[in-house]
Chain A
Amino acid sequence: MDNIILQSFAWIGLLGLIIGASLAVAAKYLAVKEDPRIGEVNELLPAANCGGCGYAGCAEYAKAIVMDHAEINLCAPGGTDCMNAIAAFMGVRATATEKMTAIVLCCGDDEVAKRRFAYNGINDCAAAHATAGGDKACTWGCLGYGSCARVCPVNAIRIEKGIAKVDKTLCIACEKCIAVCPRHLIKLVPAAAEIHVLCSSKDKGPAVKKACSTGCIGCRLCTKFGDEGAFVMDGFLAKVDYSIPITKEEVIEKCPAKCIVKD
């Protein structure tokens, strides 16, 4: 009896020694040499793994920076601090990028925008959009079924009163929501910008009014009362030119549809 136990210990111990020794040899001769800087750059990145830089996660981006000299200003969540840290470490010059944020260009929530019918299908914006063109009377506005909120890696989007809202402080500008929105309502804008035209309807005024009380009717008052060039018309829709700083905040009062909003 004792003999079997002792024998087993001996054999297992011997096996362990042999395998351990071969692993030690393999670790020495088959080792893959990796640039140690990759690990260190990876440490500097925020580990959000959002993919917003265009690489499959932070480790891949770190590798690209070290090996392929990729641009170091691509990390949206890390922002300027992260970029400066990488610049110092890699000894390259940093070109600052403006911090951007996603914004939903629609303010037609369920209180002001009508719905044409009761949609009772899949809880997904693309599916709702494909059902008779969407239940919202406005064919441009946010449907509010939350496809963008579900893809957001940092939970920056929530649905309020039937439309999506982006929390600027959380948004990392990874553009995932932009890709998923079937109505192409979500755009990247400078995070510092405070005044926006929250409407995407290119319909003529009367058609807009029929569907939603806060839709842009194309009256052009903002182009008259706002700063020179800050508001531009795209057909019957006013848009903000974010390259021009807005000083005259009275446009918010002047807009008859109340779709110019400060946040």
Chain B
Amino acid sequence: MQTIKSPYNFRGGIHPAYNKKLSNGSAIESLPLPAVLSVPMSQHLGAPAKPCVKVGDEVKKGTLIGAQNGFISAPIHSPASGKVKVITDVATASGRPCQAIVIECDESNETEFLPPIENWQKSDKDDLLTRIGETGIVGMGGAGFPTKVKLSPPMDKPIDTVIINGAECEPYLTSDHRMMVEHAKEIRIGAEIIRSILGAKTLRIAIEDNKPDAIKAIEDAFQDIEGDVAIAVLHTVYPQGSEKQQIYAVTGREVPSGGLPMDVGCVVENTSTTFAIYEAVIKGLPLMQRVITVTGDAVQKPANLLAPFGTSYQDLIDACGGFTEDKPAKVISGGPMMGFAVSSLETPTGKTSSGLLLLSKKRVSQYSSQACIACGRCVEACPMNLIPSELSQFIEAEDIEGAEEIALMNCIECGSCAFVCPAHRPLVQHMRRGKAAVMAKRMAANAKG
């Protein structure tokens, strides 16, 4: 085990104000159980889960309430004991309505967990994968891709390197940071489980150099680990936590255009996901809660809260002492770079909710965008080596094929281009619209045959 300063650094990226001091010193606290939880059926990428309980049913903590619905999907478990009040549509953080099971919680705290897997080192790889699938674990860094699928690469794509992503490059967020400081031992066991499932030789824990306490905690916990294990200390630059950028920073390998990390023999797992794998295997706990950072200058007491899925944003804010005198002008689910502004505090949390950011009026600017002045700053900032200025102009002119030709689909929507644009052009919105148009076109072509 050693700590290495990463020799590579990806091209581009930005240095936003990180503002992590607001919450990186506060230890993880458990949220008191809310009276009502509305658990969305779509907390992951892929098909939403199918409710498998009826209104009026009694559920225990850990009861399966949403069944996996397809290959790219994940099951959903009740985060508390109680009674199913109603099954209705709620608006999720992205704004799209989605089916949710509303549970009226009771104090009985009855549980229905899976049996722990004793001696996981000796158990079959498939048993471990089944456990990760049945506990509903998905990538908790933001995308929500089902972890079981990610850990089952095809035979012709051997994985030699596992990277545990503790970069947390998104400004304001500190949930992964606190997980590493407080649960380094559990993360170590989770990482060992991932390594053994994939049969990978190399294990890297990637942490940005602005989290010395997390590096220290991980160093202590991983000290006597066997094999090729190292902590890769990365430069603090956004988007260092993005999969492709991180693989380059840690290994020097470049994921090909349109390819996946497994094409270069890598798998990247978020620290919170690694912790969830530990809980699923060692304790038999389904994924029912996560740490969410509630922060910003419009909340009294920024905190890292361990909250069950389905908690409304209002409950989280109440637990943090409510708003400051400056009422929030913008409420963002996630971080300021990749998060979604939400319009209702009734929005429930889910597996990918890593933060809730409340910004007062003086922190929020309303821009009107102007024409591109061809300064090229977005080109300098793009970590995917794209030309955002040209892409956005193609999309504005409805020339979707033109944008596709200059690699629109490689855009990771990190927002670096929009952050640096002096004309305040809504570049990411253009990219999203263009990508949606390309996807719609491909779907239509597929449907035709």
A126 B433 Cβ-Cβ under 8 A: yes
Which residue of chain B is the closest to A124 with respect to CB atoms?
A: B433
B94 interface residue (CB < 8 Å to A): yes
Name the segment of A115-123, A158-166, A191-199 touching the other chain: A115-123
A116 B343 Cβ-Cβ under 8 A: yes
B341 A130 Cβ-Cβ under 8 A: no
Counting contact residues on chain A (CB < 8 A from B), the size range is 10 to 19
B342 A132 Cβ-Cβ under 8 A: yes
Chain B residues within 8 Å of A118, by CB: 366
What is the count of residue pairs linking A and B with beta-carbon distances less than 8 angstroms?
37
B115 interface residue (CB < 8 Å to A): no
Q: How far is the CA of A118 from the CA of B366 in the complex (A)?
A: 10
Chain A residues within 8 Å of B430, by CB: 122, 127
A132 B433 Cβ-Cβ under 8 A: no
B97 interface residue (CB < 8 Å to A): yes
Chain B residues within 8 Å of A130, by CB: 432-433, 436
B433 A127 Cβ-Cβ under 8 A: yes
Q: How far is the CA of A122 from the CA of B430 in the complex (A)?
A: 8
A133 interface residue (CB < 8 Å to B): yes
Chain A residues within 8 Å of B96, by CB: 132-133
- 1/0 contact string of B320-350 vs chain A (CB within 8 Å): 0000000000000000000011111000000
**In the complex, which residues 123-154 of chain A have their Cβ closer than 8 Å to any Cβ of chain B?**
124, 126-127, 130-133, 139
Most buried by B among A120, A131, A132, A133: A132
B71 interface residue (CB < 8 Å to A): no
A132 B340 Cβ-Cβ under 8 A: yes
Q: How far is the CA of A130 from the CA of B426 in the complex (A)?
A: 14
A117 B433 Cβ-Cβ under 8 A: no
B91 A133 Cβ-Cβ under 8 A: yes
Chain A residues within 8 Å of B344, by CB: 116
The smallest beta-carbon distance between B250 and chain A, in angstroms, is 34
Chain B residues within 8 Å of A116, by CB: 343-344
Partner of B343, one of A117, A120, A124: A117
B252 interface residue (CB < 8 Å to A): no
Chain A residues within 8 Å of B94, by CB: 132
Q: How far is the CA of A126 from the CA of B435 in the complex (A)?
A: 13
B95 A131 Cβ-Cβ under 8 A: yes
Chain A residues within 8 Å of B91, by CB: 132-133
Known: A131-B95, A131-B429, A132-B340. 16 other contacts (CB 8 A): A120-B366, A122-B429, A122-B430, A124-B433, A127-B429, A127-B430, A127-B433, A130-B432, A130-B436, A132-B91, A132-B94, A132-B95, A132-B96, A132-B341, A132-B342, A133-B96
Report the 7 A-B pairs with minimum CB-CB distance, sorted nearest first.
A132-B95, A117-B343, A116-B343, A133-B95, A127-B433, A121-B429, A121-B426
Which B residues are closer than 8 A to A by beta carbons?
91, 94-97, 340-344, 366-368, 426, 429-430, 432-433, 436
- 6 pairs across A/B with beta carbons < 8 Å? A116-B343, A116-B344, A122-B426, A122-B430, A127-B430, A131-B95
